[in-house]
Every structure is written in structure tokens, then in C-alpha cells.
């Protein structure tokens, strides 16, 4: 006897839409525990700012962190897009080298790369490293090789842009006096200049080395900073991964500090406001 094959047809598109909606809401709310933990770690700072304003900022940061998580997950496989040709409309040849943060890859820069290209910058490079099989000193040496290569190829000084750990790597690579001569300036986004308490539960030695008590931030071999070139730190008031928030403040002098609206840690990469701040900082470096 021939068996009849039945095919399931979804006759309730409203139900499907509801499932998609709740799944999206779930992803957006995933960072909420981190945001709440960040609030606990910054109780004194919250009292100083005011409960009402901080509550509003935390709600805004939670949404931005959740949305950015979705973007980061969806774009992660598309690193090849960072190799697409760029628009060249004003002959600006300044080499710009972008370094991502812990556990990310160079796809982190897809949106920022697009914004910078629209602003007229076309010599853009994104460096990628493995967050699980290396250490901070090894990465600094690799980054120095890339800076040297870009400087030699272009004949111009390189502008370094780093997100989170990428900011620390940029600082460490340019700290050497010879390397500093090859760099025009540094721009960092959400960089843990004094480490982060969350590094205690990080996976891998590179992640754990970001704890405030590690040798990167203490002792004779702690991270150094370039002295002469322009340095800009862009900071969100409610970062959920760099704890406490005071650790976002550069430890060295002569930094230009720019504060954004309330944004999640990864959301800084996709923010139009942050993109405009980066463009402004680049132009300021070029005009110095």
C-alpha cells in the first residue's frame, strides 16, 4: 500500500513572526546579567552620577549590547569583506591599521571600515589574531612587523585604531621609540587601560592576562605608552565588559578623552556617533 507523503505547511505566519520576535528579544537581553554585574561593580560611581540617569544609561546600553551581539555573530564569518576594494575619492593615502578586541576577528571592523571609507579614507587595513593560542608580548611583536611594513610601503606614518584589547596592543606596539617614529597617532575604543575584573573568568591565557592584578598592569614589565604621538581614548559611560568603569581611563598623561552616549562594549564598533568621533580624531592627527 502506497504511503501518502504529507508536507507541513506553515499556515500561521503570525506565529512564526512571534517566534522570531521573542528570539531577537532573548538575544538582546543576553548582556543584561553583565550590565547588572557592571552596576554592582560601580555602585559608588552610580551614586555620583545619579540613580535615575544611570538607570536610563544601563537600559540603553543593554539594548545596544544585545543588538551588537547579533551583528557580531552574523558578520563574524564574513572576514573576506574586509578585502573588498575601497572608494578612492580624495587621494588620502594615510595608512590606518585597525586591531580588534579579544575573541573577535577582523569582521569587527566592517561597519567602521565603511564609515571611514565614506569619510574619504581608503588606505585601511584590519589585522586579525587568534585570541586562544598566543600572548600579549607575541602579538605586540607581530603588530610591530605590520606597522613597519605599512610605513615602508606607503612612506607615511601609520594611524592605529584599536578596540578593547586592540587598543592595548596598539599602545604596546608604538611604545618603542623607534616604532613611535613610524606612527602618527592612536585611537582606542573601550580599552581596559587598568584591566577588567571580568578577566578572572576569561578563557585562555591572553584573556586572563587582562585582569588588573596581572603583570600587564603591574611591575617593571607593565604595558608602556607612546609619549609624543597623538592619543585619543573613546569611552562609553556604561561598558559591560571593562570593570570597574574607571579602568577605561588611560593611566598616562596627554590623552584626549572622548565620551559617548551609553553604549555596550561591542556596540561602539557599530555606532554612528563613535564613527564620527574616530573620523574627527583621524583628521586632527593628520592636521597636527
Tens digits of residue pLDDT in 10-38: 556 666 665 545 545 555 556 777 777 88
CA dist., res. 252 & res. 262, Å (int) = 24
Task: Specify the pLDDT at position 59.
Answer: 86
Cα(first)–Cα(last) distance of the chain, in Å? 85
Strand 124-127 and strand 183-189: the pairing is unpaired
Residue ranges in the chain modelled with pLDDT below 50: 1-2, 4-9, 20, 23
Backbone φ and ψ for 64, nearest 5 degrees, come out as -65, -35
Backbone φ and ψ for 152, nearest 5 degrees, come out as -70, -40
Task: Specify the pLDDT at position 7.
Answer: 47
User: Full-prediction pTM beyond 0.85?
Assistant: yes
Task: Specify the pLDDT at position 15.
Answer: 64
Amino acid at each position: 500500500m502506497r504511503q501518502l507523503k504529507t508536507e507541513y505547511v506553515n499556515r500561521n505566519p503570525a506565529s512564526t513572526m512571534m517566534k522570531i520576535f521573542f528570539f531577537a528579544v532573548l538575544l538582546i537581553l543576553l548582556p543584561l546579567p553583565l550590565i547588572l554585574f557592571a552596576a554592582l561593580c560601580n555602585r559608588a560611581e552610580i551614586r555620583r552620577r545619579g540613580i535615575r540617569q544611570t538607570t536610563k544609561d544601563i537600559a540603553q546600553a543593554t539594548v545596544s549590547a544585545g543588538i551588537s551581539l547579533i551583528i557580531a555573530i552574523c558578520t563574524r564569518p564574513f572576514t573576506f569583506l574586509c578585502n573588498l576594494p575601497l572608494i578612492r575619492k580624495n587621494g588620502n593615502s594615510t595608512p590606518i591599521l585597525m586591531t580588534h578586541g579579544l575573541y573577535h576577528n577582523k569582521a569587527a571592523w566592517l561597519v567602521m571600515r565603511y564609515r571611514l571609507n565614506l569619510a574619504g579614507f581608503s588606505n585601511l587595513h584590519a589585522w586579525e589574531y587568534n585570541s586562544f593560542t598566543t600572548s600579549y608580548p607575541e602579538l605586540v611583536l607581530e603588530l610591530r612587523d605590520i606597522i613597519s611594513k605599512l610605513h615602508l610601503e606607503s612612506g607615511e606614518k601609520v594611524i592605529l585604531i584599536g578596540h578593547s584589547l586592540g587598543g592595548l596592543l596598539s599602545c604596546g606596539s608604538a611604545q618603542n621609540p623607534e616604532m613611535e617614529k613610524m606612527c602618527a597617532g592612536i585611537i582606542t575604543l573601550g580599552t581596559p587601560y587598568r584591566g577588567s575584573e571580568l578577566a578572572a573568568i576569561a578563557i585562555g591565557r591572553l584573556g586572563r592576562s587582562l585582569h588588573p592584578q596581572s603583570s600587564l598592569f603591574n611591575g617593571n614589565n607593565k604595558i608602556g605608552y607612546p609619549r609624543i604621538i597623538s592619543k585619543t581614548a573613546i569611552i562609553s559611560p556604561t561598558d559591560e565588559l571593562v570593570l570597574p568603569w574607571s579602568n577605561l581611563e588611560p593611566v598616562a598623561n596627554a590623552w584626549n578623552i572622548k565620551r559617548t552616549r551609553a553604549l555596550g562594549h561591542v556596540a561602539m564598533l557599530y555606532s554612528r556617533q563613535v564613527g564620527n568621533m574616530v573620523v574627527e580624531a583621524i583628521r586632527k592627527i593628520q592636521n597636527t
